[in-house]
Amino acid sequence: MSFAKLSISALAVAAMSTAASARDNVQVAGSSTVLPYASIVAEAFGENTDFPTPVVESGGSSAGLKRFCQGVGTEHTDVANASRKIREKEIKACAENGVTDIIEVRIGYDGIVFASQTDGPAYTAFTQSDIFNALAPKVMVDGKLVDNPHTQWSDFNADLPAADILAFIPGTKHGTREVFEEKVIAVGCEETGAMAAMIAGGMSEDDAEDACLEVRTDGRSVDIDGDYTETLASIDANANGIGVFGLAFYENNTDKLKVATMAGVTPSTESIATGEYPVSRPLYFYVKKAHIGVVPGLKEYAQFFVADELAGSDGPLAQYGLVSDPELAATQAAVEAEETMQ
């Protein structure tokens, strides 16, 4: 570390120490995908420890990391939630502002599955293109982008059953909506040629990307903003329905649900953790080490978050859809040791 950076950090920490009384709770901001998990942890942390409940805000991964990197001191956030790894340019921005010691914490994986009634239609294998063709408001038919005419799955894929299209998907307030959009709908839009057709028709690339994420509003795609029990109830009441669930919830309800492959891969803890299953990604939060010991409860919050009771396969985060990290014990040890990124 250069003398300049050391001086900046030392001055910032000294200033923060004198201002420690400015607040006594952990402040978190960042990913909307991580938000539901962090909110569950924050509430439980406040109820089960002697520390105040952390303040958790959303705003997106990039915005949260930008705030995180603005400096050291109690006027700056302590933790940044992220649905991706921190980027090199963000690490550089952090360092320029004296944030040089960052602890990266992988909390698990965001993985969703497509499941239906055990005795329902033979939904056993989907691709991202299938889901896009079923749920998008505009699709490609005979080389042209048209209003979605499909009413049954077999209309666009003869290998799928002649059953009415009805899908219960994560609502816009749900933590898994983002992975559903990015890893399924957006991929299907590109694979079917719909995105290229939008751009060829005069849309900018940004507008086409936004349009790709839209879903039809004629009742065949239904947003579920509640938890997976609401999705399950919807499946129970609709024999043709398919639902989007977190893997852990599905595994706890295999007597009621059967799961489909996605792009030929069967969802499992292993296939999600390795990234082989395409509808998955690792989730993180980042801790400002300089704030540990100054902001009360910061390290304890990080430890609490990744404890077996919270982030383990039987914990409440798994029930909400987080896929527990097979290497959770290593993460716990790294947090305990306050290991920073190299």
| pLDDT tens readout for residues 81-117 | 998 899 999 999 999 999 999 999 999 998 889 999 9
Is 331 part of any domain?
yes
**The CATH number of the domain where 82 resides is what?**
3.40.190.10
The three-class DSSP label of residue 306 is: coil
Distance CA 134, CA 116 (A): 15
Confidence of residue 14 (pLDDT cuts 50, 70, 90): very low
Residue 175's pLDDT band (cuts 50, 70, 90): low
Q: Say if CB 275 and CB 110 are below 8 A apart.
A: no
Using 50, 70 and 90 to split pLDDT, how confident is the model at 274? confident
Q: Choose one of 260, 280, 300: the last residue of a domain.
A: 280
Residue 280 has pLDDT above 60, yes or no: yes
**Residue 250 near residue 176 (C-beta atoms within 8 A):** no
Residues 37 and 184 in one domain: no
Would residue 311 count as lying in a domain? yes
Residues 213, 264, single domain; the answer is yes
DSSP code for 87:
P
Residue length of the chain: 342
212 pLDDT higher than 80: yes
Amino acid 171: pLDDT: 87
Which of 237, 283, 238 is CA-nearest to residue 112? 283
| Pair of tokens at residue 332 | 């716990």
pLDDT bin (cut points 50, 70, 90) of residue 137 is very high
CA 144 to chain centre: 33
Q: Are residues 80 and 162 in the same domain?
A: no
What does the pLDDT read at residue 107? Answer: 96
Banded pLDDT at 18 (limits 50, 70, 90): very low
Q: Is pLDDT at 1 greater than 80 in this prediction? A: no
The number of angstroms, rounded, from the C-alpha of 216 to the middle of its chain's C-alpha atoms is 23
Domain that holds residue 311: 24-109+281-336
Q: Helices 35-48 & 298-305, crossing angle to 10 degrees? A: 120
Number of domains comprising the chain: 2
Please give the model's pTM, rounded to 2 decimal places: 0.72
Q: Assess whether 148 and 244 both reside in one domain.
A: yes
